[in-house]
Amino acid sequence: MEDFFYRHNHATIIRAQGEDAEDYLQSQWSIDIRKLGKGSVRFGLRLNLKGKILAGAYIARLKEEEFLLISENKPDLNMVEMLEENIVADEVEFFDETPKWDLLSLQINKPNASLGTLGTPKITEGHFTQEEEGLLFLDERMQSEHLLALLQRDSTTIKSISEKMEEIFSTHYDIMRINEHKFSIPKEIGADDLPQEAGMERIAIDFDKGCYLGQEVMARLHAMGKVQRQVMAIRWEKNISPPSLPVGILFENKTVGHIKSLVMDKNSCIGVAKIHLKAKEKLIESGLETENQGMGRIFSL
């Protein structure tokens, strides 16, 4: 496919600033904020005390005491309220700037050759380029090379992208990201899920940093434990419309998991499911039945 873009219509953008912004974010998020230099960006998680996922966001350091938190979706909880709930005497403020911005995913076949259209030099992993109208950086959660562009709403850059690139919509984008095992927060991984159940610990947890919310659970799992369930990309095969979700998954006549999302892909559906590890081998080899007779079978992608 030619170069294209996708508009994240439910993105949430929060500005954090103040002399304690770094220290406070360090205590709340799963990544080592102190290692983010000016111009750096990295994906991290906000966990609860049980280590379950409440929100995920790219954190970009603009200045020594100023950050942008860039989330592709709205968390179940109000983001600013969640960020402020543990402030005691910290000099930090959070501002919801969502209405000011558009967040786009870009697929450019030859990024470094094509980015001249955006007036942007080469993009390097872990860093953003800052233009007058926004930021541009690599989406580290995608296996192939995708970019995220945070741009001022109605900017000339957005108009230029719209004129020169094809816009895709949610079904196409969901198929692409699920195939690359990029799961949506909080729709597909959220407050019932540990990062390790979705493989998120590989990119979004720093096990050698100091204390943060959920740190004790993360350290315990890292040192001596393992999870019993896994969030997986699946294909659901049945020539009928997708069922209402969630749908249970059966193994030896017992419910061992649930399908969390499905999207039509030609004559079948792909989606995301969470299953017990004892059923994973069967899912990979020959598929598993879904609850209710005639619902069909699911297979691992």
Q: What is the pLDDT of residue 160?
A: 87
Are the CB atoms for 5 and 107 separated by under 8 Å?
Answer: yes
- Spell out the domain ranges in the chain: 4-179, 229-300
The residue to which tokens 């942007």 are assigned: 120
4-179 falls under which CATH superfamily? Probable tRNA modification gtpase trme; domain 1 (3.30.1360.120)
Q: What is the pLDDT of residue 295?
A: 63
CA–CA gap between residue 137 and residue 131 (Å, rounded): 11
Q: pLDDT digits over 54-88, tens only?
A: 999 999 999 999 999 999 999 888 999 999 999 99
Q: Other C-beta atoms within 10 Å of 156: how many?
A: 11
Q: What is the CA radius of gyration of the chain?
A: 20
The pLDDT tens digits along the chain (301 residues) read: 578 999 999 999 999 999 999 999 999 999 999 999 999 999 999 999 999 999 999 999 999 999 999 999 998 889 999 999 999 999 999 999 999 999 999 987 765 545 555 655 578 889 999 878 899 999 999 987 899 999 999 889 898 888 888 999 999 999 999 999 999 999 999 999 999 999 999 999 999 998 999 999 999 999 988 899 999 999 987 656 667 788 899 999 899 999 999 998 877 889 999 999 999 999 888 888 888 655 678 889 8
Residues 6+ apart with CB under 8 A from 161: 5, 104, 106, 117, 118, 149
CA–CA gap between residue 245 and residue 80 (Å, rounded): 29
Q: pLDDT digits over 231-261, tens only?
A: 999 998 765 666 778 889 999 989 999 999 9
Are the folds of 4-179 and 229-300 the same? no
Are the CB atoms for 151 and 134 separated by under 8 Å?
Answer: yes
Question: In terms of C-beta density within 10 A (0-12 exposed, 13-18 middle, 19 or more buried), how is residue 86 classed?
Answer: exposed
Residues 6+ apart with CB under 8 A from 255: 248, 249, 291
State the amino acid at position 67 in one-letter form: F
Q: What is the pLDDT of residue 194?
A: 98
Query: The domain 229-300 is classified under which CATH number: 3.50.50.60, 3.40.190.10, 3.20.20.140, 2.40.30.110?
Result: 2.40.30.110
